[in-house]
Amino acid sequence: MGTRKKKKSQTETGHEQLSTGEQTDQPVAEDMQKEIDELKRQLAEKTDLAQGYFAQLQRVQADFENFQKRIDTEKSRIADSACEAIVSGLLETLDNFEKAISFLKNMPSEESSGVLMVYENMLAYLKKNGLERIASEGCSFDPHRHDAIMQTEVETGADGAVLEEFQTGYTMKGRVIRPAKVKVARLKKNEDNDGNNIKKEE
């Protein structure tokens, strides 16, 4: 009888220890879960912060690229304006060369070849930098490219056609820096036809 009671006492003791261990493990698990939740929260905060910094960096980079484009555009505009001003100042020299060449046509080629060579080299250099002649004679009058300083009535042909060019016009990279001075045709009205049309209407 004594042995059985001792065994029973040991079994009860084992159950008590097991129960105590379970109670001890539960707070530990709860603490670990709290730590995990806290770490997750901190990770989420850091992720949001990093995403915010990245978005800000992208905006700064986009602003810098736009700024760089504006700077490049402005530099190009200033360079074009400077080049245009220089070329505009040389147009009168080109006009004088052309007048001189027209007189030199009747002179020996030895005397005129030097002037002609300088003119051709100068014109080639200016064309390389964007200078172009404005087509005039035989073309339709364009108020953006032509300056009509004279009009002549014609009985046949196209109304508004350019009959003669008095001064060459030029563009610089597509922009008109000097319009061509021209004479424009104005088609003469047929008065007989107008009279016939009036009679018919009556």
Is 62 contained in some domain? no
List own/partner pairs for 100-109 with CB under 8 A and 24 or more apart.
none
Is 125 contained in some domain? no
Is 35 contained in some domain? no
Is 4 contained in some domain? no
| Cβ-contact 169, 146 below 8 angstroms | yes
16: pLDDT strictly greater than 70: no
pLDDT in tens, 137-156: 989 999 999 999 999 998 88
pLDDT in tens, 154-170: 888 889 999 999 999 99
Is 141 contained in some domain? yes
Number of domains in the chain: 1
Is 155 contained in some domain? yes
Residue 134 three-state SS: coil
* 46/60 Cα distance (integer angstroms): 21
Query: Comparing 131 with 18, which gets the higher pLDDT?
Result: 131
Is 39 contained in some domain? no
| Cβ-contact 179, 147 below 8 angstroms | yes
196: pLDDT strictly greater than 80: no
- The pTM score is 0.60
Least confident piece of the model among 12-21, 150-159, 169-178, 191-200: 191-200
